[in-house]
Chains A and B, each alone.
Chain A
Amino acid sequence: MKKAKTLEELKNATWKELPIGTVNPDPANSLKNFTGTWRSGKKPIFKKDTCIHCLFCWVYCPDMAIIVKDGKVLGINYDYCKGCGICEVECPTKPKSIEMVKEEVTLS
């Protein structure tokens, strides 16, 4: 019996096709699970002019949704951001470099 390997195969696998011990052969595949759809009503906006790149937003973000390259904040990954707003609260600059704004919710 062929064992399921890819995400699509795993989703549709019968119990006989599951890997032994349900060992997941596809590590970190939740990157294809876009939790940004959870956001309800508010989203963070990054303002690079006032940012001092302290990276507090990066360390306190529960969804690893702050994009950082070479120690600099580049923006927010809306594919995963659930919109909790911790980044805005923890941002030390005045005015805040991350601001939560209203977001229209479109139901698909």
Chain B
Amino acid sequence: MVRLRELASMEDRLVSGHGLCLGCGIPVIMKVVLRATTDPIVIANATGCLEVCTSRFPWTSWRTTWMHSAFENAASTIAGVEAMYKALVRKGKIPKDKKIKFLAIGGDGGTYDIGFQALSGAAERGHDFVYICYDNNVYANTGGQRSAATPLGASATTSPAGSKIPGKMQKRKDLTQIMAAHGIPYVAQASPHRWMDLYNKAKKAFEVDGPAFLNVLTPCPLEWKYDESQGMRIANLAADTCVWPLYEVENGKYKINYFPKEKLPVIKWLEPQGRFRHLFKEENKWLIDEIQKSVDEDWERLQRLAKL
């Protein structure tokens, strides 16, 4: 079990002075994840909030090897770097005992939608890398367009709630399950509020031999429209309402890491967020029942999978 004072004594690999919004969840995730290994890390970062805000030329907030790759190919970039590392070890140009970790980072736009093909390919080829998706449910960097991760009923700039539709009318894509279906050694879903859980998952992901995928919920004050001080409370509510269950799939075996003491109704998670405000109008209330039904079904299904 790791303690925060141990983590705090380690050096930051992502430093202050970045341009991410106040109250952003991404640096919290990176702070924990980048401490889960003491080996050098090479990062390929897909276009997105994190990439744009930490590398505004001439500034850089990174104290580790970091490269920007286009929206669609962070996984391909890191696969190439990893293949080169293996070749150089084989040729004796890098000593055999020199361990390097390979990390690809993407937002939900760059992972669920645009970069999915590259990620799926790299996972199938079995490169030894970790992919972290910080999922803020929306294209937050380009003005809040809907993505495949945007949940049912959320208002986004390309699925705005109005007289025609009450927000996005499609269910979100369950990428964690899709990655688990690739049969890779480690897949997990985490949240920044449970930092210990996130740390353990990141550590496991770095340690396994082969591809590992982490999907981390990221509260976004700008696009979820809540008070910026409430970010971690909202992440906690996502776990407590089972909207975002915390679980891992290790070599095909499902394990739920967090059971809420009392499963809260989904309305508790919807209430504080401005992007769901329209759901509380009389004519849209049916959608809240739909969301509750869908969350309950998914939670039941996950519990069944964990019993297998």
The reply to whether chain A is a binding partner of chain B is yes
Least distance between A22 CB and chain B CB atoms (Å): 7
Assess whether A11 is interfacial by the CB under 8 Å rule. Answer: yes
Q: What B residues does A31 contact at CB under 8 A? A: 15-17
Take A24-B58, A24-B60, A30-B59 as given contacts and tell me if A63 and B16 are in contact as well, using a CB distance cutoff of 8 Å: yes
Whether A62 contacts B27 by the Cβ 8 Å rule is yes
Assess whether B88 is interfacial by the CB under 8 Å rule. Answer: no
17 A-B residue pairs with Cβ-Cβ distance under 8 Å, sorted by A, are A10-B58, A13-B58, A22-B57, A29-B58, A30-B61, A32-B59, A33-B59, A35-B17, A55-B4, A59-B31, A60-B232, A62-B20, A70-B9, A71-B5, A80-B17, A82-B22, A84-B23
**In the complex the two chains form, what is the Cα distance from A68 to B17 in whole Å?**
17
Least distance between B96 CB and chain A CB atoms (Å): 27
Least distance between B52 CB and chain A CB atoms (Å): 13
Assess whether B170 is interfacial by the CB under 8 Å rule. Answer: no
Residues in B lying within 8 Å of A, measured CB to CB: 4-5, 7-9, 12, 14-20, 22-28, 31-32, 54-55, 57-64, 192-193, 195, 221, 228-233
A46-79 interface code vs B (CB 8 A; 1 in, 0 out): 0000000111101111111100101100000101
- What count of chain A residues pass the 8 Å CB interface test? 44
Least distance between A11 CB and chain B CB atoms (Å): 5
How many inter-chain contacts with C-beta < 8 Å in the A-B complex?
123
Q: List 9 additional contacts besides A28-B63, A55-B4, A60-B192; criterion CB under 8 Å.
A: A28-B62, A33-B59, A58-B4, A61-B28, A62-B25, A62-B28, A64-B27, A70-B9, A71-B9
**In the complex the two chains form, what is the Cα distance from A44 to B62 in whole Å?**
26
Q: What A residues does B27 contact at CB under 8 A? A: 62-64
A85-105 interface code vs B (CB 8 A; 1 in, 0 out): 110111000000000100000
**In the complex the two chains form, what is the Cα distance from A90 to B230 in whole Å?**
9
**In the complex the two chains form, what is the Cα distance from A11 to B58 in whole Å?**
6
Take A30-B15, A34-B17 as given contacts and tell me if A59 and B57 are in contact as well, using a CB distance cutoff of 8 Å: no
Q: What A residues does B63 contact at CB under 8 A? A: 27-28
Take A34-B17, A59-B28, A77-B16 as given contacts and tell me if A29 and B4 are in contact as well, using a CB distance cutoff of 8 Å: no
A4-22 residues at the B interface, CB under 8 angstroms: 7, 10-11, 13, 22
Take A10-B57, A24-B57 as given contacts and tell me if A30 and B229 are in contact as well, using a CB distance cutoff of 8 Å: no
**In the complex the two chains form, what is the Cα distance from A44 to B264 in whole Å?**
31
